[in-house]
Amino acid sequence: MVTPQESKPNNLVQTIERVSLILDILGQNPQGISVRDLSLKVSLPKGTTHRLLSSLSYLGYVRQDPKTRNYLLGFKLVELGNLLLGQLDLRKEAEPFLRELAERTKETVHMVILDRNEVVYIDKVEVAHNPSGLRMASRIGLRNPAHSSAVGKVLLSLFSDEALNQFLKEKKLSKRTEHTITDTVQLKEHLKMVRNQGYAIDDEENEKGVRCVGAPIYNEAGNAVAAVSISGPAFRVTKNMAQETLKKEVMKTALDISRRLGYRGGR
């Protein structure tokens, strides 16, 4: 089955489009932004921008700093976003396993799903005091390309030919670092290998200095619905480490979670 790319509706509601743009811009301004500056950024008259903001503000999607009068993102978004996260059964089931994995390996553990052919982080477990004190820049809700991450590649490796071609058609393989696989043929070869191994390594392909190992989580029906990964600084997560110990740890955790979801395969 092919997850269809959400095509641009020909009758996109103008207000919704504008609101989305406004929220994106507010997200980029942690200290808030004035009506004037915002109106310039969205190329709308001040009056129009203000009307949209006051409606959004009333409903909680936006808030206004009483001192600076700047507008910021509102907590309604936190409410809805975490409501959605809380509705993911997968997350509830997986959490203890993720914690355990983080504890054992002392590295950061992520769980992701695929949404519109992109990786979305739906959980993250960090150990309180990891050896180096380094913290991953990742955040729950963050999106990453599939082709440059361990979790993404391991999920892509289980795509049907049809779905993979669809993916390649709609996404271009952006070069995130010098190690990113940006060639279609090369990626296809690589994915074959990943599929056979049952895990993927992100060898500084998404972010310089960060190496990850990822494995797929299957549901009862045997479909890969998510992926787990261990991420860490490349100097600690060496290639050897990844291919030896970490690979086993991640695969075990992924299988445990899959079993928990009713998966019956995997030997």
Partner DNA sequence: GAACATCGTTCCATAATGCGAAACGATTTA
Partner DNA sequence: TAAATCGTTTCGCATTATGGAACGATGTTC
Helix (H) or strand (E) holding 53: helix 46-59
Residues 109-128 that bind DNA (CB under 7 A): none
- The verdict on 70 binding DNA (CB under 7 A) reads yes
Span from 63-71, 127-135, 162-170, 176-184 in contact with DNA (CB under 7 A): 63-71
Structure tokens at 226: 């998510």
For residue 74, which of 47, 50, 55, 49 has the smallest C-alpha distance?
Answer: 55
Give the residue, chosen from 45, 86, 96, 209, that forms a contact with DNA under the rule CB under 7 A. Answer: 45
> What is d(CA 112, CA 7) in angstroms, rounded to the nearest whole number?
23
Selection from DNA, its own copies, none that 40 binds (CB < 5 to 8 A by kind) is: none
Burial 219-245 (b: 16+ CB within 10 A, else e): beeeebbbbbbbbbbbeebeeebbeee
Interface segment toward its own copies; rule CB under 8 A; list 136-144, 158-166, 168-176, 193-201: 136-144
The interface partner of residue 70, options being its own copies, DNA, none and the CB cut-off 5 to 8 Å by kind, is DNA
Q: Contact between 50 and DNA (CB under 7 A)?
A: yes
Sign of the four-CA dihedral 91, 94, 100, 103 = negative
Q: Which two tokens stand for residue 163?
A: 């779905």
Residues numbered 95-134 forming contacts with its own copies, rule: CB under 8 A: 96, 99, 115-116, 120, 122, 128
**Minimum distance between the CB of residue 12 and DNA, rounded to whole angstroms?**
7
Q: Which residues bind DNA (CB under 7 A)?
A: 9-11, 13-15, 18, 34-37, 44-48, 50-54, 64, 69-70
